[in-house]
Amino acid sequence: MLKDLSLEESMMMSFEGETAKVDDLRSWIFSGINILTSRPIYSMVIWNADKLSLDCQAILLKPMEELGEKMNLLLTVENENQLLSTILSRGVVEYFNNNQPPTSGYWNEIRKCWSSGPAACIAFIDQLEKEKGVLVMEEIVLKLRDSFTSEINEKRISILNLAITCLSELKQTNVNHKLSMDNFLMSSWRIIKIAG
């Protein structure tokens, strides 16, 4: 992974997520921010970030939101679904495991729509080619299905049901693709916002 990202170990600040304690992670984050402010060539890497407790994950939210790309924070995980959705929405997911099926990138776009709101949902659908609707929905259904290995909750089940309904509508010839996709994105966004 380091090679794929063109990173050198000597230019990294590492933290192990599996054994993390809240105070230790908070201190590491603030130290890293101070170093990155003066030396932006460094990268902060949290190994096994999917093993972080929810309290530890919550510590990452404010720095990720405020510093964004300036922070150069990498979270390595085996299962992205173990991370808070708010962490996922603030970053970009890249797969380095050869066993992981390649994605078309729509999942990240959909998550951005969900975090940005109705205008982003509508803008995404407006620029999406009609033929790509089925691909988008297939990827969403697979991602949501895979998320059940880590947690099953009402919100995910509701969104998966909406996605399956939308996918089946898109596979019909006489359906307004744009309307069906808009309905899915807006309905799923409401579910996320009400539950979140």
Write out pLDDT tens, residues 158-187.
899 999 999 888 887 678 888 999 999 999
Q: Which residues contact 54 (CB under 8 A, 6 or more apart)?
A: 84
pLDDT at position 98 over 50: no
The pTM (predicted TM-score) of the whole model is: 0.50
Report the C-alpha gap between 196 and 190 in whole angstroms: 10
Domain presence at residue 101: no
Do residues 68 and 112 share a domain? no
Is residue 122 predicted with pLDDT exceeding 50?
Answer: yes
Vertex 91: Cα angle to 90 and 97 (nearest 5): 150
Domain that holds residue 156: 106-195
Which residues contact residue 172 at a Cβ distance below 8 angstroms, ignoring those fewer than 6 apart? none
Residue 112 placed within a domain: yes
Asked whether residue 67 is assigned to any structural domain, the reply reads yes
Give the Cα separation of 44 and 166 in Å (integer). 40
Report if residue 95 sits inside a domain: no
What pLDDT, on a 0 to 100 scale, did the predictor assign at position 108?
85
